[in-house]
């Protein structure tokens, strides 16, 4: 998910989205249980807040399972990275178990209704955020979850009424069959609507409504535009240009030695370079040190040697490349496809797994 830049400050958009989703989930639960005893409602809300905190803690801490060496070597990795998809689902499982335990006093139906409300409020914000902040990764599952969350919030907005219906109709098999039939129809409609939503996103109809930008084919650092040219010298004085990588997907990473977030990201950049170097010419990496903001070239050279980094590096001595890519916060990374068109623009530290996933997505689209 693309980070958010405020001046020279880069905010972790993924963390902000999960926090916002948690808040909305708790609000959905609170609003849905307005008819309950106040003390009981507050107990449920407190358990929901704990579930959100647990979710984030497991999501971030899962990096210890996925990539323990990066945490051991760079403890700050826990601030900027997570366990990715594995961490996402581990966190979801942990939160689900916690909520099931805390809501068990309401019975299976009451617990399920409360978990559904909390999860639906969470999914509503998450689905919208993916649609606007990381549209290229928006898929069928996101569209189904987004639509289903709206339906669940509407249907279960009053838990007390739902429980009364449940008790009243517990022995009415005809009513149960009717509700199951209606539920299947509703799920079928949601499935079709989800497919339509996904198609609209992929074909660019929604993209055109969401984007207001420069015309296609012009040069610029935004997705869909031709990447600005880069021709700079390496530490050895060799002239290296972006154009020489034509025909390959190119990862362009801007950084400085004084940037602490960059230092946390560098092991992932090195790992990325080694991974694709072993695979051939399909994906290249070009590291751009914004030397105009360094104290000396010698300091950059010492830094590279000290940590054993050997990825392709060029020196932006005048800051012209950074200016052409409108980079004023570090690190900043761009994925440029084989035709020289910018496909992804990312701010802040990006993990190896996240970068690899994005590169594969660009490759699959070509």
Which CATH number is 339's domain given?
Answer: 3.40.30.10
| Same domain for 294 and 193 | no
Exposed / middle / buried, residue 262 (Cβ in 10 Å: 0-12, 13-18, 19+): buried
Q: Are residues 331 and 275 in the same domain?
A: yes
- Same domain for 242 and 119: no
Q: Is the pLDDT of residue 161 over 80?
A: no
Identify whether 215 is part of a domain: no
Kindly report whether the peptide bond that precedes residue 170 is cis, defined as omega within 30 degrees of 0: no
Q: What is the rounded (10 degree) CA torsion for 23, 24, 27, 33?
A: -130
Q: State how far the Cα of 147 lies from the Cα of 129, in Å rounded to an integer.
A: 14
Q: How many structural domains are present in the chain? A: 2
CA angle 231, 232, 234 (to 5 degrees): 135
Please give the model's pTM, rounded to 2 decimal places. Answer: 0.71
Q: In terms of residue numbers, what domain contains 127? A: 4-210
> Domain boundary residue among 159, 175, 210?
210
Percentage of residues of the chain with pLDDT beyond 70: 77
CA distance 350 to 14: 12
Query: Residue 267's closest CA among 77, 96, 126?
Result: 77
- Asked if residue 49 belongs to a domain, the reply is yes
Contact between 58 and 94 (Cβ < 8 Å): yes
Distance CA 324, CA 267 (A): 26
The reply to whether 72 falls in a domain is yes
User: Does the residue 178 lie in any domain?
Assistant: yes
Considering the domain boundaries, does residue 153 fall inside one? Answer: yes
What are the pLDDT digits (tens) for 43-65?
999 999 999 999 999 999 998 89
Same domain, 236 and 205: no
Q: Does any domain span residue 109?
A: yes
| Residue 262 in this model has a pLDDT that exceeds 80 | yes
For 119-142, the pLDDT digits (tens) are 988 888 888 877 777 766 666 676
Residues 135 and 261 in one domain: no
Higher pLDDT, 194 or 131: 131
Query: Is residue 318 one of the residues assigned to a domain?
Result: yes
Same domain membership, residue 259 and residue 139: no
pLDDT score for 2? 63
Q: Are residues 194 and 284 in the same domain?
A: no
Per-residue tokens: 348 = 């802040």
C-alpha distance from residue 298 to each of 235, 236, 286 (Å): 9, 12, 20
* Ordered strands of the 342-347 beta sheet: 239-241, 231-233, 313-315, 283-289, 249-255, 332-336, 342-347
Instruction: Say whether both 235 and 281 belong to one domain.
Output: yes
Q: Are residues 25 and 122 in the same domain?
A: yes
Is residue 219 a part of any domain in this protein? no
Same domain, 188 and 257: no
Residues 237 and 348 in one domain: yes
Closest CA to 26 of 129, 100, 97, 125: 125
Q: Are residues 148 and 177 in the same domain?
A: yes
Burial 52-90 (b: 16+ CB within 10 A, else e): bebbbebbbbbbeebbeebbeebeebeebbbbbeebbeb
Whether the per-residue pLDDT at 180 is higher than 80: the answer is no
Q: Is the pLDDT of residue 81 over 80?
A: yes
């Amino acid at each position: 998910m693309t980070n958010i830049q405020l001046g020279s400050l880069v905010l972790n958009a993924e963390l902000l989205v999960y926090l916002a989703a948690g808040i909305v989930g708790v609000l959905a639960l609170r609003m849905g249980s307005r008819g309950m005893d106040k003390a009981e409602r507050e107990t449920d809300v407190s358990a929901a807040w704990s579930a959100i905190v647990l979710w984030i803690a497991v999501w971030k801490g899962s990096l210890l399972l996925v990539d323990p060496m990066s945490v051991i070597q760079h403890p700050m990795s826990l601030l900027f990275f997570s366990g990715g998809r594995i961490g996402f689902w581990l966190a979801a499982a942990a939160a689900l178990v916690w909520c099931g335990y805390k809501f068990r006093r309401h019975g299976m139906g009451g617990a399920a209704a409360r978990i559904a409300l909390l999860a639906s409020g969470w999914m509503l914000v998450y689905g919208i955020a993916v649609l606007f902040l990381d549209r290229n990764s928006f898929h069928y599952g996101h569209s189904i979850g987004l639509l289903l969350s709206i339906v669940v919030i509407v249907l279960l907005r009053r838990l007390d009424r739902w429980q009364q219906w449940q008790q009243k109709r517990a022995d009415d098999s005809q009513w149960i069959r009717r509700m199951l039939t209606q539920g299947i129809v509703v799920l079928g409609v949601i499935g079709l609507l989800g497919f339509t939503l996904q198609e609209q996103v992929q074909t660019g109809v929604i993209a055109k409504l969401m984007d207001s930008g420069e015309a296609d084919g012009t040069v610029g650092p935004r997705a869909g535009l031709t990447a600005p040219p880069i021709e700079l010298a390496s530490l050895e004085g060799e002239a290296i240009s972006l154009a020489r990588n034509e025909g390959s997907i190119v990862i362009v990473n801007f950084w400085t030695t004084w940037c602490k977030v960059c230092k946390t990201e560098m092991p992932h950049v090195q790992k990325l370079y080694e991974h694709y170097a072993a695979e051939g010419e399909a994906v290249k990496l070009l590291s751009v040190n914004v030397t105009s903001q360094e104290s000396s070239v010698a300091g950059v050279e010492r830094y590279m040697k000290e940590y054993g980094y050997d990825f392709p590096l060029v020196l932006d001595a005048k800051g012209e490349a950074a200016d052409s890519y409108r980079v004023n916060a570090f690190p900043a990374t761009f994925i440029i496809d084989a035709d020289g068109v910018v496909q992804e623009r990312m701010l802040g530290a990006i993990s190896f797994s996240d970068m690899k996933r994005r590169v594969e997505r660009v490759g699959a689209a070509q």
